Structure 1
Amino acid sequence: MPISSSTLVRTTAALMLAGLAALLVIVGMSLWLGNRSQDHFNEVLAARDLRAATLDFRTTLQDAETGQRGYLLTQDDSYLAPYNEARQELESHRQRLTTLLQSRPNGDAISAAINDAAAVKLDELEETVRLARTGDRETALELVQSDTGQTAMSELRELFTGIVEDADRRLAESVEQQRGSASALYWVSLIGALVIIAVVGGSAWAVISYTREITEARRLLSSTNITLEERVSERTAELARANEEVQRFAYIVTHDLRAPLVNIMGFTSELEASIKPIRDYMERGEVAGDDQLANEAHLAATEDLPEAVGFIRSSTRKMDGLINAILKISRDGRRPIRAESIALTAMLQASADAIQHQVGELDGVIEVADDLPTILSDRMSLDQIFGNLLDNAVKYADASRPLRIKISGEKLIGNRIAIDVADNGRGIAADDHERVFELFRRSGEQSKPGEGIGLAHVRTLVRNLGGDITVTSELGKGSTFRVVLARDMRRFIGSMQ
């Protein structure tokens, strides 16, 4: 089944969303499981530290007890060395254990019980050692045999055993939970990776399928384009012949219309000349107030007939102007065009210089780009095209600001060039952007003389050169006319022959 561009976009978007969702799940689960692993790791560290501190305290206390008993039995001062070392370390071990127990449940109670039992045991150790040193060994042994220290030590061993067992249990649980988190992370990563692989595979399949279809479409297009140029040339020649027939028909019609129009204009002049003596006679004669027929004749001779003749003359002049305009367009369309090398910058600068006096009266300036290329086209047509555009820019200047006209160019793809004629004049309303190129149509306030044929004539000339003209404008801000021409019109002329 063919894959359309919209289907490709929707499929790719869906796959990307699925991949993004999978990636977000992987990242989210990884962060969550990572935090859990960190918590379990911290729990392991805390349990390990508490277990180590408990064993250190217990071992040091046992070392002190061993040194005390050896000294009591042998009276050898060398046994006091481990006793003294243990006594020096016991306080730091006790403080460390007390600090670590604060974070555990019932830690304060356990810490208090350990401190109490340890105080009793340490007092017993110190007292027996002191008695033995003073020579009262018997009393020291009796104190040992009283089981006061033994009871305290048994209580401490029980407390230490409970702490170590709880720490071992916590270590085992944390390790197991870490294994569970690692296993969950493994499965999440594996499933997410499979989803991402499926997304990438689906996207690759869609792109490859679409690319194959594009390649096939290009192959078909290439085979079609083999005959396209020939068909375009044939159609262009047909259009050129049809346009020539239309222009010939317009020339014949307007030429035939001129004959009766000339007769009408001639008889109008004779009628006007005949009315003048009648009007003079009627104005000198006196008309009786009760002679209605004479009054009507007087009114017709002095007012109605001159007014009617004036309307006829005005209409015939307008019709004569329109016929002349159509004849001009027809003649220009039928005029043979000749391609020659034209330096656009020099030609447009000459056109600008020709109206410089009018621009100066408006305190204006004309800027012509100095980097315009040289093209092969018809010089007379280009002179008329840009001369008309510059005349319009001057005619429809905005009186509220100095006139500014800028002519620039741009190379287009293919055998094309665009020339922009921009001004800051009155501008053209958006609804009239296309109408201004129609014959006998004008835009905006009709405060300037004209028949509405200038831009229609320009469009005809541009199209005869194988180009086109468009306008972009904003009312009150100015207009830009873009003339697109063939850089070498000989190809266009060749397609017409």
Structure 2
Amino acid sequence: MPIDKALFSRLTLLLIGIGFAALLAAGAGLVWQVETTRNYASAVSSAQEVRVTTLRALSLLQDAEIGQRGFLLTGEESYLAPYHAAVEALPQAMARLAKLVLEDGGRPGPIAELRELATAKLAELARTIALQRAGERDQALAITRSADGRSSMDTLREMVAGVEARSAMRLAARSAGLEANGRALLIGAALAFVLMLAVTVGSAILAVRYTRELEQAQAEVTAANAGLEARVAERTAALAAVNEEVQRFAYIVSHDLRAPLVNVMGFTAELEAAVAPLSALLAAAEAEAPGLVTAEARAAVAEDLPEAIGFIRSSTERMDRLINAILRLSREGRRALRPEPVALDRLFEGIAASLRHQLDAAGASLEIAPGLPTIRSDRLALEQLFGNLIDNAVKYLDPARPGRITILARRLAGRVRIEVADNGRGIDPRDHARVFELFRRSGRQDQPGEGIGLAHVRALARRLGGEVTLESAPGAGSRFQVILPLEPPPMPTPSPEESPR
């Protein structure tokens, strides 16, 4: 039947409302999924912290046992250094583990049981050490060799494995929830698409039927097409803007984290400044009326408050370093590469000059093989790549022997292989892959760093059209091989998704 103007208007408004509702639902679903993904990323970080702290606690217990056994076997007090260090650091590690497990959604019971067993183990070690010092070496060794002495450590390992397993299970459950949310969002988006398609088809049918009944059909169709093209252009521009925002997501998140962090650091400084007058006030009160000042108040002002402030400051400083590193990597990933001829011998001489102070302080030598080739590449990227490798080599030299770092290069077919080798501590083969991952480190954590350098090295090598590999073993040093083209590949400016994060 014919469609009058009022009915056509009502139907059009209805269809537009349905389409807008579907589009709004799809947008809300996208925001919901982004927030869910961020929460999942936080859960992954929390689970990783639980794992690292759990392994740290177990490592401290093992260090304590190693020190005790060395002392029982030799009777020399120097062997107790790992034991004393572990006894001092273990309470803080256990407290942090309990806090992380609770924040991760775990139960406090297993952690309390683990703490009790760890305390009992340290008491057993202290008892054997006391017997050794008293000349009862045989009795101390008998306790160490007993089934109880062995089983307690095995039980600790099992409990540590249980804590890790439960954390992994919680993470797996969150991962399953994330996948379910993704499927739900996909189904919802498909339904929204079908609904919008139906709205579009219905609108087109109504428009065609209505325009056939009008005297100026051709003029109205032309106007409708013009309006449709304008809406398509607007939506295309809007989608392009949204896509650009999504591409800058990692950069924006890292940048916006700085504002609350700066506030926390500022208030921490104010708390630090307040400690001195508070201490003076407490001292004056104690001098005037000793009975008014309790031991708890003295401990809170003299010990607890400075300790808490120190912990907050160290944590915020570490977070500030991480955010700065992420921003630096993001900016570097956005920078357009500028290939130019680079003489590798002069490049490494410049890097050596910039690191001369660190080399001299470590008592290390840097040997650059003669005849290094010239390649066409981005000079700044090369300086950052090899500067990171040499800086790492200096930091992780073995103090037991003079440090030696060598730079070699060999031409291949259209490529060059550059080796940075050292005689430092070395890296366990099991960690060869993980050291190139962001925020991952290997071996003793006795050097400053956030686990970003080697991840940046690999990202730079790949942007330059090459690759980096590692050969290393504990005590045998490390050899990093960087293979780069002699001539640069096409180097488009990367999008944020391609930038290292």
Give the TM-score band, short-chain normalised.
Answer: 0.3 to 0.5
TM-score, scaled relative to structure 1: 0.46
Pick the structure with greater CA Rg.
Answer: 1
